[in-house]
A and B are shown apart, each in its own frame.
Chain A
Amino acid sequence: MHPLFLFLSFVALLSALGVVFTKNPVHSVLFLILTFFTISGHYLLLNAQFLAAVNIIIYAGAIMVLFLFVIMFLNLNELTEPQKPALAKIAAAIAGGSLLLILVAALKDIVPTGAVTGTAFNSQIGMVDQLGLKLYTDFLLPFELASVLFLIAMVGAVMLGKRETGERNF
């Protein structure tokens, strides 16, 4: 296996464990950001440059900033963290464990595209131009629907930000 792949996987797993096991929520968020970076590294190894860049911009650059923002406001720490009853912890462990089991069972026999010789696989599909062509030909309708959804969300945000008539705080 590629040494870079091993290194990235190692860091990804370690930081993902860090997200769960660290006590401080701010540290959790920072570990999660590190995890996103290693996942972007994996995307780069898989020749998916666009996905790698967008993963950084959206997840590490925007969503995690919002996470951090909220957590800083709440100022959570060990003292204020509510103690969960043992029953809830056991139930969570069982639920999480069975999810892991289902995922492993579902994914263990999967053959990746291109692994079997003879199947057509375009190694350039992760590049920006190829991905764009694919999105605008084969997946045009879902793509446009998603963009309309985003536009609506954005208009909603602007509407919420607008000052209502008569409202004057300063």
Chain B
Amino acid sequence: MIELPALGWQSIVIFVVFALSLLIATYCTYAERVIAAFLQDRVGPDRAGPYGLLQPLADAVKMFTKEEFFPGGANKVLFVVGPCLAMITALMSSAVIPFGNTMSFGNNAFFLQGIEVNIGMLWIFGVVSLGVYGVMIGGWASNNKFSLLGAIRAASQNISYELAMGMSLIAVLMISGTLSLREITLQQSVAGEWQMWNIVKQPLGFIIFLVCAFAETNRTPFDLPECETELVGGYHTEYSSMKLGLYLFSEYVNIFVVSAVMSVLYFGGFNFPFQYELRDWFVNSQGWELNSAQNLITLMGAVGIFLKIFAFIFFFMWIRWTLPRFRYDQLMRLGWTILIPLAVFNIVLTGALILFGVI
């Protein structure tokens, strides 16, 4: 057995989360095609492997073996840095998401979470706000007018929707009183109490957050930075081979992360209904030890949060193949004159409800 002295349990969790984000993003490309085919009444990918399950692998081989092209007059360094930044920022945010409660073996206990910090929500928000750099730098470095237009659209879109997103988060903060995502999750289910998930207390905030999440991940109906009908391919017009792959891939990682954040903030994270009753049933009726019952509940919770995440990912794809794209002025008007005032109203409403003891 090889000793890995530098690696504790937590590093293993981080590695698993990293691997899972990549795996899920890989199969998102497959799921997107299957769902598109389903919604448009087509067959979809079914050639590579059973049910076309090896399609992502075939795509990866195609991406890696394509010609690597640098446009004339491009800034070579930044042209490569762009997709790297997009991928790095996409992967960074999953570090603070709690994918499960505590696992305990004897005296050792660890969280199914990369790092537990008391600024978890701010970390997510910070990393999300950095996500636009990959798109901006890549679009500028391509030395192409369409790419530049895409980059500039991405910048203004992200800044505009970040404001409403941040303010919808503040309302969650007001009812939870903590920035730690683990604490927020635990508050949504307390043993022996009839505790609601945050979606019940924050329906308006959730809708604002959901719309902003679509805008921040550059998904249809807000995919104006790439918008192929106006800008050829937007910021990634000039990209080829795996550099393009990284851009497309980082979009799916972002969808995964944003789905995880929505599950944690509004849909109870790793909690599922009657978990404490189930644990007590294992302990009292089946004679299990408390630790192993708790571990089983934790694992079931981890499965639960992933089911919630998959549901949100499906929702993202469903919307993509249902709604047409917004026009640019409509996008800006929605962000500044509808979502931001609504978010402010939501903060005031939440404050009033807390003041009068309703929630």
Contacts and interface: CB of A to CB of B under 8 A. Distances in A.
Nearest to A49: B119
Given A57-B126, A60-B130, A61-B126, A72 B136 contact: yes
B123 A158 contact: no
A138 to B, nearest CB: 20
Contacts of B329: 169-170
B136 A65 contact: yes
Contacts of A30: 78, 137
Interface of A: 26, 30, 33, 49-50, 52-54, 56-57, 60-62, 65-66, 68-69, 72-73, 127-129, 154, 157-158, 161-163, 169-170
A169 B125 CA distance: 35
Contact of A161 (B117, B152, B337): B337
Contacts of A129: 118
Contacts of A68: 133, 136, 140, 155
Contacts of B9: none
B322 to A, nearest CB: 24
Given A72-B140, A170-B327, A163 B162 contact: no
**Closest 5 pairs (CB-CB, A-B):** A61-B129, A53-B122, A161-B336, A56-B126, A57-B126
B195 interface: no
Contact of B130 (A26, A56, A169): A56
B332 interface: yes
B179 A72 contact: no
A162 B329 CA distance: 11
Given A57-B122, A128-B119, A73 B152 contact: yes
A26 B137 CA distance: 9
A73 B123 CA distance: 30
A128 B78 contact: no
Contacts of B155: 65-66, 68-69, 72
A94 to B, nearest CB: 35
A158 B140 contact: no
Contact of A65 (B123, B133, B327, B336): B133
A72 B78 CA distance: 14
Contact of B119 (A33, A50, A60, A170): A50
A66 B340 contact: no
Interface in B323-342: 327, 329, 332-333, 336-337, 340-341
Nearest to B332: A161
A72 B122 contact: no
A53 B78 CA distance: 26
B162 A62 contact: yes
10 contacts: A26-B75, A57-B126, A61-B126, A65-B158, A68-B136, A69-B136, A72-B140, A129-B118, A161-B336, A169-B329
B133 A33 contact: yes
Interface in B61-117: 75, 78, 117
B123 to A, nearest CB: 6
A49 B336 CA distance: 30
A170 B340 CA distance: 24
Question: Which of A60, A65, A162 has the most B CB atoms < 10 Å from its CB?
Answer: A65
Contacts of B117: 49
A56 to B, nearest CB: 4
A169 B133 CA distance: 31
A50 B122 contact: yes
A65 B122 contact: no
A73 B136 CA distance: 12
Given A65-B155, A69-B155, A72-B148, A158 B129 contact: no
A53 B337 contact: no
A54 to B, nearest CB: 7
B349 interface: no
A49 B118 CA distance: 9
A56 B125 CA distance: 9
Given A56-B126, A62-B159, A127 B118 contact: yes
